[in-house]
Structure 1
Amino acid sequence: MDRLKQLGDVAEIMLDYVENKKTFQTDKPLRVPSSSYTDKDQFNAEIELVFKRTPLMLAFTAELPNPGDYKAMEAVGMPVLINRDKQGKVRAFLNVCSHRGAPVAEGKGNCTRFTCKYHSWTFGSDGKLIGISEANTFGDVDKSQMGLRELPCEERAGMIFVCLTPNAPMNLDTYFRGYLEDFEALDFANWTYLGNRTIEGANWKIAFDGYLEGYHFKSLHPETIFPRTPSNTMHYEGFGPNMRIGFPQHTIAEQLKDVPREKWGECENEGYDFVRIFFPNVSVFIAPEITQVAQLFPGPTPDKNRTVLNYLRREPVKDEADREAVEAAMNFFRDVTYQEDYVIGMEIQKGLESGAHDEIVFGRNERGNQYFHEWLNWYLEDDPSTPEPTM
């Protein structure tokens, strides 16, 4: 289906939701064991069967626009190095020297080679070992077999996806089922990366659950989100395990009334908004002023997560006053996310660990949460013959 027609159809559905006080509903509630958020064995299984097997969106084209650009980071305890080589190809490696295991890069920067700070072994932008310090005393080694361990990596639609298991299969078309066309249409590859903020919270699924529904907007966000967006009014679309969640604005009828019906698909942020979800751990909210992309990383223990809030927009920073406004916007989004969502998430963590209830329940109106947990369980079963969840 044509993308804009599909978005226009969703806008029409959301208009009906607001006018008739309805929301997307499925056939029944879903119960999830409280231990899903506390159990160490499940936590370890999630790392091995989900985070180390699925394509993770770890960086943006806008972060590494030039040959030689690199970014060193940690993802679920794994040291990762992403770089753009001399030919402009993006690559990913385990950031681990083949000599004694030290990192070969830190932070972000631009270089043509990586040198381990421990013993100065040097690797090219293609990961190959090109230099051993004081090689005449080290002894014979086959440098061709001692490069950095490469990870499956692909750049698409302005984002860089990595699988944390070397040599694992990674097919983005199969995984996203056409969803990345959304970001290609948004010209995401040419946006400006503004910076990031890091926050910490409870179990990664407690935090992620909050991105998947608007049932809580009126009670938890009465002064920040609710003035723009009605509570308990959501529309869900599934693209494999990924989702596009539609949130109409209170003013959707007024904003669309003078727009021709065939143009409704062009009105994102002008009557309705979307939160775009990449399973298992990314939430993208494109707002008029600035876009927030949250990357949730589990750990280091089951009761904790580390979330990197990335910020982008279409236009580059114009001047110092604009930079100050950007910094203020990033701080505002971070503060709302942490103070209003993550703080209560840590209280939920304590509640679930108390043993007060064996299960929690997601209502018929919380289909996004249900769909996420159904897909999580599908991966944890590790049986491809099991039918995939459907929206």
Structure 2
Amino acid sequence: MGYHETIGDEAAKMLAFVESGTTDSASAPMEVPATAYTDTDYFEREMETIFLRLPLLAALTAEMPDPGDFKAMELMGKPVLITRRTDGSVAAMLNVCTHRGMILQPEGHGNKKRFSCPYHAWTFANDGNLIGVSEPGKFGPVCKEERNLATLPCIEAGGVIWVSLTHGADMDIAAHLGGMLDDLNEYDLANWHYCGSRRIYGANWKIAYDGYLEGYHFAAAHPETIHPRSFSNIMHFTAFGPHMRVGYPQVTIKEKLEAQPRERWGHIENSGYDFVRTIFPNVSIFFAPEITQVAQLIPGPTPDRNTTNLMFIRRTPPRDAEDAAGIEGMMDWLADVVDREDYGVGLKVQQGLASGALKSVLFGKNERGNQYFHKYVDWFVAGDTDAEPPVL
């Protein structure tokens, strides 16, 4: 079955849920210990078994499309520098000068053939090789090959630059993403335009992730923003390993689909239905008609906190100054909605759980995606490679 046929079938299932007043459901409610959101030891095991081992989205291809482009950032507390070499390939390394440990490049984007340390002016090529020691005659002999920047496993696929924070880690991105890579490739994201980013701060990373996985909260938490567009508490879930495509029917789904021949239903995303795509462990993507939002959740530094980078792309660059201003306004509006209506709620949830009032949180049958997500977190943390992974 082709991609658009699959999407069309998922749209048909969403329509059936709307017409029957039902939703995609698990077999029973499920409890998750409240300490999963608050316990320091559990948080540290999550970091070790998930975030330091799995491929992580570090950048979008659209952020750095040209040779010489770079992005300097902090990822899981580590300073990371990603570059595009002159041959168009990408490299990732720790953003740390190998002389005395100075951060080599401040956070941000740019284009450089080489990087000079602001402390003692040691110079590195954009592939991480040390090419210059300032005043070498006075400094003494240096084996440059032993002082190249520390590299990280890195691969580009699906319009995304993926990095592992563990040296020598497996970077079989096709195996990791499974069918989600086909989904990303369908959009040809590598050729989109990068619009900009916004940064917001929230509660435990799983509280933030939970919000992307269900529309049960739309009516209560988003009465004037999301709920006028989308039904509350009607969802459809498709899993690709730990990753998910979550379908949300719009209130216009019946009229939008019935206005199209059945074979066209899989070609009209955002017209009658929307999807949120989650890429485990920390990415959410929403393809909206006006602009696409990619949320990158960075846990920590403590269990009760996360930093989320909202990155925005669209198919085409701004047409003119008015269009560019409109893009800025849309990014501001989307970031404000997530910050105020989702992360604001999440911080209150974190406060409630920290009080000790609950021994566990309860996910209903309707919150099937959340149940699946938490089962996968526990499966990774357990580290039992012989145990079968969860099934949706």
Q: TM-score range by the shorter chain?
A: over 0.9
Equivalent in the alignment of 1:375: 376
Letter in 2 for 1:136: G
Equivalent in the alignment of 2:38: 38
Equivalent in the alignment of 1:117: 118
What CA distance in whole angstroms lies between the structure 2 residues aligned with 1:257 and 1:134? 74
Output one character per residue of 1:218-240: Cα deviation in whole Å (capped at 9) or x when no partner. 11111100111000100001111
Equivalent in the alignment of 2:350: 349
SS in 1 for 2:317: coil
Equivalent in the alignment of 1:75: 75
SS in 1 for 2:179: coil
What CA distance in whole angstroms lies between the structure 2 residues aligned with 1:158 and 1:341? 27
User: Normalising by the residue count of structure 1, what TM-score does the alignment of the two structures yield?
Assistant: 0.98
Q: How far has the Cα of 1:139 moved from its partner? A: 2.1
Output one character per residue of 1:337-362: Cα deviation in whole Å (capped at 9) or x when no partner. 01111111111111001101110011
What CA distance in whole angstroms lies between the structure 2 residues aligned with 1:170 and 1:388? 19
Output one character per residue of 1:23-73: Cα deviation in whole Å (capped at 9) or x when no partner. 000111111110111111111111111111111111111110110000000
Q: How far has the Cα of 1:5 moved from its partner? A: 0.8
Equivalent in the alignment of 2:50: 50
Letter in 2 for 1:45: R
Output one character per residue of 1:109-158: Cα deviation in whole Å (capped at 9) or x when no partner. 10101111111111111111111111112222211121111111111121
The unaligned stretches of length 5 or more in structure 1 are none
RMSD: 0.9
Equivalent in the alignment of 2:26: 26
Equivalent in the alignment of 2:191: 190
What CA distance in whole angstroms lies between the structure 1 residues aligned with 2:366 and 2:343? 22
Equivalent in the alignment of 1:387: 388
Equivalent in the alignment of 2:237: 236
The unaligned stretches of length 5 or more in structure 2 are none
Letter in 1 for 2:4: L
Letter in 1 for 2:125: G
SS in 2 for 1:179: helix
Equivalent in the alignment of 2:86: 86
1:293 partnered with 2:294? yes
Q: 137-146 or 115-124, which moves further after superposition?
A: 137-146
Equivalent in the alignment of 2:333: 332
SS in 1 for 2:168: coil
Identical amino acids, percent of aligned pairs: 53
SS in 2 for 1:355: coil
> Which portions of structure 1, spanning 4 or more consecutive aligned residues, are displaced by more than 4 angstroms?
none
SS in 2 for 1:259: coil
Letter in 2 for 1:336: V
Equivalent in the alignment of 1:358: 359
Equivalent in the alignment of 1:8: 8
Output one character per residue of 1:232-286: Cα deviation in whole Å (capped at 9) or x when no partner. 1000011111100011111111001121111111010011100000101110001
Q: How far has the Cα of 1:178 moved from its partner? A: 2.4
Q: 66-75 or 309-318, which moves further after superposition?
A: 309-318
Equivalent in the alignment of 1:248: 249
Output one character per residue of 1:351-391: Cα deviation in whole Å (capped at 9) or x when no partner. 00110111001111111111111111111011211111111
User: Normalising by the residue count of structure 2, what TM-score does the alignment of the two structures yield?
Assistant: 0.98
Letter in 1 for 2:375: E
Q: 180-189 or 209-218, which moves further after superposition?
A: 180-189
Q: How far has the Cα of 1:188 moved from its partner? A: 1.1
Letter in 2 for 1:12: A
Q: How far has the Cα of 1:96 moved from its partner? A: 1.0
SS in 1 for 2:207: helix
1:226 partnered with 2:250? no
Equivalent in the alignment of 2:100: 100
Letter in 1 for 2:271: E
What CA distance in whole angstroms lies between the structure 2 residues aligned with 1:132 and 1:48? 36
What CA distance in whole angstroms lies between the structure 2 residues aligned with 1:169 and 1:191? 28
1:208 partnered with 2:209? yes
Q: How far has the Cα of 1:11 moved from its partner? A: 0.7
Letter in 1 for 2:186: A
SS in 2 for 1:54: coil
SS in 1 for 2:12: helix
What CA distance in whole angstroms lies between the structure 2 residues aligned with 1:150 and 1:329? 37
SS in 2 for 1:255: helix
SS in 2 for 1:62: helix
Equivalent in the alignment of 1:65: 65
Equivalent in the alignment of 1:132: 133
Equivalent in the alignment of 1:149: 150
Equivalent in the alignment of 1:267: 268
